[in-house]
Chain A
């Protein structure tokens, strides 16, 4: 067994999985509350990557920032998460809320429309060129070694640790705060929650804010680890995030994280171990989705709906 290859692929898969997991969390939260597949979520992630990029440029650019690298990175996350959170609230307010009582297909079509709107707006505003985060200039290209075969870079570690930290914060927020309790109640029964005095509109807005802020963080992480961002990057990442959410069990926070890591590792191992694996990595990922759906339709950590008959 080539352990060096195995560890390289595992680190790569966990890094990529962290990004998918954060995107999946947004899908899961919105689905949990509204039973809506927010297909614009991948494009919110793309906008997040651009917001992080422009925050860095505002500070002078990579290697030229007039603040320390860590402060610059923190500001990039802050700008991106805040910007995307607000964008999520605006999308919900204008594209989904008016359709809340419409048949379920209507908000789905609206989500696709928002996705194309964001994609083309980014093309119009930011241009078609790829943007380079310049991670080497910003953080440096140092690689760390643990033991004989495990190598990782700072952005990879940062991505993995911060995605775990964000999931823990989100879990605590949902389990132990008033807004979290309101989210759970709204998810369980929206009408009953409203009758109990919960401001359902506010709860839904908060859910969109948090889910979109996580997508913004994922966008910055992606830029830091993989370097290049562009207007079309949200399409495939959004699909993979959605796949991760479904594999993990849509509506479940730990499920979204698990699904993200499963998708990331599948992609990575398939690339490394299977012939022409890189060419067909999407085939393997989406085949896994089909297998999970056949074996466990509610996802790895999802609960099957109990219907009264």
Chain B
């Protein structure tokens, strides 16, 4: 009896150990160096919240990712790309577990040589072991937590096409303190890693400049802000919302208006650079120095009923980065994930549609990343 229990325990342990090893059954080194026949159609991976509470963001990223693929496929007759998708369900009840499952699923597809995403910083942290084990490079178009590239956990594997919170936060604090000379600011984060990181950074900078700062948070699933608005002191000059869901920020602005607080200015972050938040006349926002007249952006808008969906634009650039690297690696007909990673490190794009050139530093951050400040005229954001 004891022997059979022991055998069962050993079997269960072995099964569990196999299960926690991720999707790849190869060692990390083998997975990274395994040569794949490129063929005519090559696969690019995407990890994004395609469903769940943050689906509106993930769908924008997916559309821009697909837009890169469709443009590439139109202009290249001999080679084609196809997308392999993983749904990370950001901010869903399963936490980051869904992102890990999605990463394992995409990584187990040996034809995927690199991937775009994940969208959120928490998802990046959670999926790092799985993606690294598979030897894949991952390029995010929205994960901005500063430590993602400085903690040494994913150097050489992780890259991003957006500057980190430290760059955006400094630009925002500078605008509030030096340009607007505001003295009373209220910061409301949306409880996601992106938002709290940025809010913490700006709060520290403002406090250091002797600005009176109030702080609160709301869930991304929350739509009733009336109690929170009642709590904001009436003499507040600016409410800073480093959020990712522009429609929620629009609802917040509407409820501010209902509560007779429309004289308080609102300011958003790059996650709110969207027509929904631009509908709030006079609102400020920080974003990359994007060129709204860029022909790629204009063509995208034309193909998507006039909607720029700018939150997803950096994912286009991320797709451009991995697509370029896969193309180069496949020149001799075969490529490995390690080869693609090496080529991504050497990326050189003179000017992307974000208004920035794309070259990565040793940590995987974009070199010379900057943020601009914009103000809404009621329909769109204009640089100020």
Residues of chain A having any CB pair with chain B under 8 Å: 5, 8-9, 11-13, 15-16, 120, 123, 127-130, 132, 135-136, 141, 143, 151, 153, 222, 225-228, 230-233, 235-236, 267-269, 271-272, 276-279, 282
Cα distance A129–B58 when bound, in Å? 10
Report whether B217 and A282 are in contact in the complex, using a CB–CB cutoff of 8 Å: no
Report whether B188 and A278 are in contact in the complex, using a CB–CB cutoff of 8 Å: yes
Given A8-B259, A222-B223, A276-B217, verify A132-B230 contact (CB < 8 Å): no
Q: Given A12-B226, A12-B227, 8 other A-B contacts at CB below 8 A? A: A8-B226, A8-B259, A9-B230, A130-B56, A226-B225, A231-B55, A236-B222, A278-B227
Give the shortest distance, in Å, between B54 (CB) and chain A (any CB): 9
Q: Specify which chain A residues have a CB less than 8 angstroms from the CB of B170 in the assembled complex.
A: none
Report whether B227 and A272 are in contact in the complex, using a CB–CB cutoff of 8 Å: yes
B380 contacts the other chain (CB 8 A): no
Give the shortest distance, in Å, between A28 (CB) and chain B (any CB): 22
A-B contact pairs, 17 of them (CB 8 A): A127-B59, A128-B58, A136-B257, A151-B260, A226-B251, A227-B251, A228-B247, A228-B250, A228-B251, A230-B56, A233-B223, A236-B221, A267-B227, A269-B227, A272-B228, A272-B231, A277-B227
Q: Specify which chain B residues have a CB less than 8 angstroms from the CB of A128 in the assembled complex.
A: 50-51, 55-56, 58-59
B219 contacts the other chain (CB 8 A): yes
Give the shortest distance, in Å, between A150 (CB) and chain B (any CB): 12
Q: Specify which chain A residues have a CB less than 8 angstroms from the CB of B248 in the assembled complex.
A: 130, 228
Q: Specify which chain B residues have a CB less than 8 angstroms from the CB of A226 in the assembled complex.
A: 223-225, 251, 255
Q: Specify which chain A residues have a CB less than 8 angstroms from the CB of B230 in the assembled complex.
A: 5, 8-9, 12, 272
* CB < 8 Å A-B pair total: 113
Size of the B side of the interface (Cβ < 8 Å), in residues, is: 38
Cα distance A132–B222 when bound, in Å? 15
Residue of B nearest to A271 (CB): B227
Q: Specify which chain B residues have a CB less than 8 angstroms from the CB of A236 in the assembled complex.
A: 219, 221-222
Report whether A136 and B55 are in contact in the complex, using a CB–CB cutoff of 8 Å: no
Cα distance A87–B86 when bound, in Å? 32
Cα distance A267–B222 when bound, in Å? 12
Give the shortest distance, in Å, between B60 (CB) and chain A (any CB): 9
Which of B188, B223, B228, B259 gathers most chain A CB within 10 Å? B223
1/0 contact string of B205-234 vs chain A (CB within 8 Å):
000000000011111011111111011000
Residue of A nearest to B216 (CB): A278
Q: Specify which chain A residues have a CB less than 8 angstroms from the CB of B250 in the assembled complex.
A: 132, 227-228
Cα distance A136–B222 when bound, in Å? 20
B52 contacts the other chain (CB 8 A): yes
Report whether B276 and A268 are in contact in the complex, using a CB–CB cutoff of 8 Å: no
Q: Specify which chain A residues have a CB less than 8 angstroms from the CB of B58 in the assembled complex.
A: 128
